[in-house]
Amino acid sequence: MEKKEEHNSEQEQKPSEGQKPSEEQKVDKEQKPLSTNKLIVAGVICIVAYVVILLLSAARAQLLGIPFIGAFFAPLGFESPMFWVMPFFAFFALFFLIDWIKKGFESKLSFAMLCLAVFAIFVACSLAAYYVALYWYISNFASLQGIEMTPDMVDFWGKLSNSAFLLFIWGGMFGILARYIVEKINL
């Protein structure tokens, strides 16, 4: 009797030739996990992105002479492991976050628009979070020193361009780009 029930449940799951697949089956088909080949491609993209980030950071001294460009690359920091780990963490966090957002919010956006939206929200939230953290840090420091806090004390771009957080932002942007590329590759 159990075999008959299993057979009936299999028939309910698979539509016959004349039937259209149910919405549940369509969702499962669209949200299948990434294949091993796609994860390997993502790993290769991560390594390439990491090398690009490190090369641009190493060339920061030459890039500082170019208006607007040089401010977006953090120096290579050998004094803290955060400079080496932050791009990896951000890359994979945002790489897998896009699938979670698509599944969790049942987004009707195309995949390209979803990646673009996540990119814009990530950059805006990252910069806002860094500004708040920097403001509170300097505010607390000024309070402990007995100095009045002034707006010019918060050198946002100067502090950001010398911090590991900028590498976190770059790693996250490359993670979103890698997820888009992996989605478009047919493996």
pLDDT digits (tens, 9 = 90+) for 88-120: 889 889 988 888 888 877 777 788 888 899 999
pLDDT confidence band for 12 (50 / 70 / 90): very low
Q: Above 80 in pLDDT, residue 47?
A: yes
CA distance 65 to 71: 10
| pLDDT 10s digits, 173-186 | 999 999 999 888 87
Report pLDDT digits (tens) over 130-141.
999 998 988 888
Percent of the chain with pLDDT over 90: 13
Q: What pLDDT sits at residue 65?
A: 67
Separation between Cα atoms, residue 179 and residue 97, nearest integer Å: 10
Say if residue 16's pLDDT is above 60.
Answer: no
**pLDDT tens-digit series, residues 59-87:** 766 666 666 565 566 655 556 777 778 88
How many structural domains compose the chain? 1
In order of 10, 20, 22, 185, the CA distances from 17 in angstroms are 14, 8, 13, 30
The answer to whether 36 touches 18, Cβ cutoff 8 Å, is: no
Pick the closest to residue 184 from 11, 16, 45, 25 (CA basis): 45
Query: Which of 1-15, 96-110, 118-132, 136-150 has the largest mean confidence?
Result: 118-132
Residues 6+ apart with CB under 8 A from 156: 130, 131, 134
Compute the distance between CA of residue 28 and CA of residue 103 in angstroms, rounded to an integer: 10
Residue 10 maps to a domain: no
Residue type, 100: W
Considering the domain boundaries, does residue 1 fall inside one?
Answer: no
Question: Does residue 51 sit within a domain?
Answer: yes
Residue 66 lies in a domain: yes
**Domain of 160?**
35-184
| Residue at 6 is within a domain | no
Handedness of CA 17, 18, 19, 21 (dihedral sign): positive
Residue 28 within any structural domain of the chain: no
pLDDT given for residue 68 in this prediction: 58
Q: Is there a domain that residue 104 lies in?
A: yes
Separation of alpha carbons 162 and 30, rounded Å: 42
Domain membership of residue 17 (yes or no) is no
Angle between helices 111-145 and 82-105 (to 10 degrees): 130
